[in-house]
Structures are given as C-alpha cells and as structure tokens.
Amino acid sequence: MGEVTLGQYYPTNSILHKLDPRVKFVGTLTYIISLFLIRGVAGWIFVTAVLAGLMFLSRVPFPYLIKSMRPILFILVITVIFNLLLTPGTIVWKFWIFQITKEGIRVAIQMALRLSYLVMGSSLMTLTTTPNALTDAMERLFAFLKVVKVPVHEISMMMSIALRFIPILMEEADKIKKAQMARGADFESGSFIRRMKAMIPLLVPLFVSAFRRANDLAMAMEARCYHGGDNRTQMKPLRYKGRDYVAYLLMAVMLTASILFRIFGKSAI
C-alpha cells in the first residue's frame, strides 16, 4: 500500500518547487496549449527543449518523471495503433485488410508525442506542488466565479479536506487490514465473491472510522466558528515574488513562439 503517493509530490528545494502554485497552474495550461499549437520539426524541438529544461530545473529524478507515464501507456499504444492503421492516404505498407499510410505514421507520431508530453508536463506540476498548494491556487484563480454565485471557497475547502483525508484513511485501512490479518483473515486467496466477502471486516471499521473522523472535524470547525469564505484570511497567503513575474514572462514568450511555429511551421510532423 506504501506505493500510492497521492499527488505524487516529490520534495526537493528546486526553483520550480518555490514558484507560486498559481504560476505553475497557469504555466501548465500554457504549456498544454502550446503543445497543441506547434507544428513542424522546429516546433517539436522547441517544446522538447522546454520540457527537458523544466525537468532539469525540478531536480526530480528522471525515473519518477517516467513513472507518471505508466497509467497512460495502454491508451498511448491503442491511440498509436488506431491512428497508424485507420488514417487514409498514400499507402506505404499493406497486408490483408491492414494498411499503413504516410499520413498515418505522421499522425501516430504526433499523437504519441502530444500525449506523453502532456502527461509528463502536468505530472511535473503535481510532482513539484503539494495538492494543498494547488487547491489554494485554484481557489484564488477561480475567485472571479464568485460573481456568478459559485461557492469557490467551499469547493476548494472540500477538496483540501478530501485530499487531507485520503492518506489518513489509507493508513487506517492498512492498520485495520493488518489487525484482521492478525486474526487470521485472508484477503488474498479464494474466488472473486469470497474475496469481496473478505473485505467486510476491513470496510465496516473503515467506514465507522471515516464517519467518526468527519464528525470530529465538523465539530472542531464548528467550535472554531468556521463559516465559509467571506472575510477569511489565510495563514500563508499566496504572494507573487520576482521569480513568479519572470515565469509569467517566459510563458508569454513560449506561447508567442508556439503561435509562430503554428503559422510558419511545415506540417511535416
């Protein structure tokens, strides 16, 4: 169970970690937009350089960055195969009902690159930003939605509480599982139905404890007179520093460059 690290935050003291979470959030969006704008070999070289540079700056070990690809590997392979086989155009290779076209190869490569760059780029954000910092950032960035009566603060509060509770509940589940195993429970063997049934001794105490915790938390918030978003101040308010403005500037540069690549790039890839 120790494998699961939610949000996969990897603590180092890099410049990316120190950036304001809002910058990283907006930056990731800009990066994704750029990914879909660029065209041509030069464009791809450009985003590859950007991604490699950011990876280097993050000081997160390379294996961790690659690990984020694992969940999408299946989707990636499927996408490539479908694009390869189903795109019409000049035929390069043909066998029975299968055919591979020049255009197919081009689209497949493009899709594979886009998907993997997208995942690597966004996991760079989650690797360098704690989930709580991210919710904070989103609360601030979407604050304008309050005008149309969206309960932004409440949503973000719910998100941070949920994020806070996931590791606690996982730890609890681990503990209860061990306690039942100490009483001879068997979670691993048997048919599907048997294994489902074996989960009851784990799930009942887990739910009981989750409700108890939720109750305690509600009580504690009540006791501290918590009442939603208005006029609340934060313990660590987000404040832009010099480096954050520099980052915004660089984002603007990246976006402009991508637009230029779009306009002038040869659509070879």
In the complex, the smallest distance separating the C-beta of residue 97 from other proteins, rounded to whole angstroms, is: 47
Question: Position of tokens 């989650």?
Answer: 126
In the complex, the smallest distance separating the C-beta of residue 20 from other proteins, rounded to whole angstroms, is: 23
| Beta carbon nearer to other proteins, 188 or 230 | 188
For residues 85-108, one letter each, b for 16 or more C-beta atoms within 10 angstroms of the residue's C-beta and e for the rest, the string is eebeeeeeeeeeeebbbeebbbbb
In the complex, the smallest distance separating the C-beta of residue 183 from other proteins, rounded to whole angstroms, is: 4
| Beta carbon nearer to other proteins, 200 or 246 | 200
- What letter represents residue 119's amino acid? V
| Beta carbon nearer to other proteins, 79 or 209 | 209
In the complex, the smallest distance separating the C-beta of residue 52 from other proteins, rounded to whole angstroms, is: 22
| Beta carbon nearer to other proteins, 148 or 182 | 182
In the complex, the smallest distance separating the C-beta of residue 68 from other proteins, rounded to whole angstroms, is: 15
| Beta carbon nearer to other proteins, 141 or 185 | 185
- CA–CA separation, 70 and 76 (whole Å): 10
| Beta carbon nearer to other proteins, 164 or 178 | 178
In the complex, the smallest distance separating the C-beta of residue 3 from other proteins, rounded to whole angstroms, is: 9
| Beta carbon nearer to other proteins, 63 or 237 | 63
How many Cβ atoms are within 10 Å of 51's Cβ, its own excluded? 18
In the complex, the smallest distance separating the C-beta of residue 104 from other proteins, rounded to whole angstroms, is: 41
Which spans of this chain sit near other proteins (rule: CB under 8 A)? Answer: 2, 5, 10-11, 172, 175-176, 178-186, 200-201, 204-205, 208-209
- What letter represents residue 265's amino acid? G
